[in-house]
Structure 1
Amino acid sequence: MLAQLTLSQILPAATHLLVLLPKTKALPKDLPHAAVLKAVLARRDIKADELAKSPVAANAGNGALVAWVMLDFEKDTFAQQVQVRKALQLLLGENPKSIGIAVFGDEVQRKRAAELAVYGAWVNGALLPVHKQKDERKPLQKIELYGFADRKIFAPLKAQAAGNLLCRELTILPPNELTPALYHGRIKKLAQQQGWKLEEFDMKKLRRMGAGAFVAVAQGSDPEDAAIVHLSYRHPKAKQTVALVGKGICFDTGGHNLKPSRYMHNMHEDMNGSAVALGILLAATQQELPVNLDCWLALAQNHISPKAYKQNDIVKALNGTTIEVMHTDAEGRMVLADTLTLASRAKPDLMIDFATLTGSMATALGARY
């Protein structure tokens, strides 16, 4: 659940306040709690514009916790988001129910600061699953914004935040809570909620179709719950179709070419490509973007078993290409080969492939990159 956003014409009387301003050497005269900030800067012996490197926070005279941060708008978006997140963490660490946000600068700067701060509060104020016996965290429930009043810019950001959180929530789930079957159940529920058309290619259907590359990887799992799931979003004004293809390996042991324990750790995150594709689909749907989207998710696990594929096996992919298996830990390209073939048969205008990057990319790119 994302926090409720309200726009205020007066400075919020909040217990937790985030103040954002453009990088400058001189502080604005109307800056909230300016005397407190000046005292903090003097104590730390830093100049005002160093707030563009690292935010600061202090208790104001009224008992509120205030964080100040400057934004360097010449830097890229990611760098600006990092600055805002650092400032928000100074406030969210106290689990506030609500925060106030005040933005300063010219109209363009205030708009940009408001976008960054509200989006950051949404994605950092929501709670992701944990498995502790006692969870003392509390979600952020309310955001009060001062300094920018155009509400319509926030609807797309809210949709993007929903997609962001879906992707992150799926990725951190432990492998016993996100098997291909459980993943498919979540996808089916989402499809019903969002009005997506859902089509499933299970193992029986994939065998009949000749998707030998995907089946080779998935056949080592018991039960055979692997599948390629196809979701469709359609917009009446769309003129182009984009295919999103995501690798959804819910756990990767490496197969018979077994990963050492330190490399197998966190392999429940090998489905992150599919989570990214699904998050994009959700964000696009909630924004009602005028583009047709097909989302193809390759859901499987790479296990060891008597049925699992082996080195020197020769299989035939869906497009007729024969493949000799040289290493069973190269399962991503196997499941994606058949999934990309399925996606291409629908003749989209653009295909985008999302997958966790194989460590063997170092062979191609070297240590520099």
Structure 2
Amino acid sequence: MKPELPKLPDLKLDVDHRIPASWDFDTGVGLILLIPDQHRQVMDKAPWADYLKLRLADFPTSANPILISGPRGTRTSIGFVSEDVRGFKALSQARALLAPLMAERCRKVNVISMLDQPETACILAEALVSAAYAALFPLPKLSDKPEDKLPLAVMNFFGEFETADFRYAKATAEGNNLARWLTQLPGNYLTPRIYREYAQALAQQEGWEAEFYDCDQLERMEAGAFLSVVQASPNR
């Protein structure tokens, strides 16, 4: 029995341009602080200003990100964000910020931006959402061993995140995770026939038209590149 095509995990995303006056959150809520790398003095205006000054003095200035516990125990990842953060650099920083909070099994993560550039804040927000979907995504389950389901269900973004394109981040994560899922399947679970069945099921699910060419048709079309892929398979 082949595994069913995967679905993206549920993750609620909320945006509020108002930064909370208090950063003392409930148990099980993690915090990510986004600080401009070139203007770290913005933390002087934070609710935890004095506490942050004392705690960050224990770390080298090159440390990034930094994981601390807030005054009342809130697990907090602090990221110092450069103005030119883009692409892979943004995704790498997002993963590093989120991973320790996921390891702590936070059910909710609040992201607070003190960045002075909304565009940069939105880039990091989209990267954080992509990182969350990648961490939550279940890879193929081929045994009876119970899955370790991470509890993260909500991400709240406080600050100038209004133009963050979370729909794009979600769609990209869905495609990336499907590719990851397929590459994790062993060969006996992903024969050419089963792969075709997955493709046809996905087309039906998404409302796409699909047409299947068998080996005889491909030979008449002289599609050697496609035929060479399946030569080693017992399935025509």
Residue 18, structure 1, aligned to residue 32, structure 2: yes
CA–CA separation in structure 2 for the residues paired with 1:122 and 1:34: 32
Residue 219, structure 1, aligned to residue 219, structure 2: no
Aligned residue type for 1:148: E
SS of 1:187 mapped into structure 2: helix
1:309-348 equivalences under 5 Å are: none
Residue matched to 2:72: 62
Residue matched to 2:5: none
Residue 4, structure 1, aligned to residue 18, structure 2: no
Alpha-carbon RMSD: 2.5
Q: Which moved more, 1:115-124 or 1:161-170?
A: 115-124
Residue matched to 2:210: 198
CA apart distance, 1:174:
2.3
Residue matched to 1:42: 57
In the alignment, is the contact (CA less than 8 A) between 1:126 and 1:140 conserved in 2?
no
Task: Report the CA distance shift for 1:7/1:213 in structure 2 as closer, same or farther (over 3 A).
Answer: closer
In the alignment, is the contact (CA less than 8 A) between 1:37 and 1:58 conserved in 2?
no
Residue matched to 2:89: 79
CA apart distance, 1:192:
1.0
Aligned residue type for 1:180: P
CA apart distance, 1:113:
3.0
2:183 to 159, 166, 171: 171
Task: Report the CA distance shift for 1:217/1:42 in structure 2 as closer, same or farther (over 3 A).
Answer: closer
SS of 1:144 mapped into structure 2: strand
In the alignment, is the contact (CA less than 8 A) between 2:30 and 2:74 conserved in 1?
yes
Greater strand share, 1 or 2? 1
What whole-Å deviation, never above 9, does each CA across 1:330-361 have from its counterpart, x for those lacking one? xxxxxxxxxxxxxxxxxxxxxxxxxxxxxxxx
CA–CA separation in structure 2 for the residues paired with 1:21 and 1:153: 21
CA apart distance, 1:175:
2.1
CA apart distance, 1:151:
6.0
Structure 1: runs of 5+ lacking an equivalent:
225-369
Residue matched to 2:3: none
In the alignment, is the contact (CA less than 8 A) between 2:102 and 2:150 conserved in 1?
no
Residue 147, structure 1, aligned to residue 132, structure 2: no
What whole-Å deviation, never above 9, does each CA across 1:96-131 have from its counterpart, x for those lacking one? 222111112223333333333333333334333355
Larger Rg: 1
In the alignment, is the contact (CA less than 8 A) between 1:18 and 1:100 conserved in 2?
yes
2:114 to 104, 110, 121: 104
TM-score by length of structure 1 reads: 0.53
Task: Report the CA distance shift for 1:27/1:159 in structure 2 as closer, same or farther (over 3 A).
Answer: same
Residue 116, structure 1, aligned to residue 148, structure 2: no
CA apart distance, 1:167:
1.7
In the alignment, is the contact (CA less than 8 A) between 1:101 and 1:117 conserved in 2?
no
Residue matched to 1:91: 101
Structure 2: runs of 5+ lacking an equivalent:
1-8
CA–CA separation in structure 1 for the residues paired with 2:105 and 2:37: 28
The number of residues matched between the two structures is: 219
In the alignment, is the contact (CA less than 8 A) between 1:21 and 1:104 conserved in 2?
yes
CA–CA separation in structure 2 for the residues paired with 1:143 and 1:121: 9
In the alignment, is the contact (CA less than 8 A) between 1:3 and 1:126 conserved in 2?
no
SS of 1:68 mapped into structure 2: strand
SS of 2:89 mapped into structure 1: helix
What whole-Å deviation, never above 9, does each CA across 1:231-290 have from its counterpart, x for those lacking one? xxxxxxxxxxxxxxxxxxxxxxxxxxxxxxxxxxxxxxxxxxxxxxxxxxxxxxxxxxxx
CA–CA separation in structure 1 for the residues paired with 2:225 and 2:121: 52
CA–CA separation in structure 2 for the residues paired with 1:36 and 1:174: 51
CA–CA separation in structure 2 for the residues paired with 1:153 and 1:217: 38
CA–CA separation in structure 2 for the residues paired with 1:40 and 1:131: 45
2:140 to 105, 124, 129: 129
TM-score by length of structure 2 reads: 0.80
Task: Report the CA distance shift for 1:214/1:165 in structure 2 as closer, same or farther (over 3 A).
Answer: closer
CA–CA separation in structure 1 for the residues paired with 2:47 and 2:134: 25
CA–CA separation in structure 2 for the residues paired with 1:18 and 1:179: 43
SS of 2:15 mapped into structure 1: strand
CA–CA separation in structure 1 for the residues paired with 2:232 and 2:131: 41
State the identity %. 29
In the alignment, is the contact (CA less than 8 A) between 1:103 and 1:147 conserved in 2?
yes
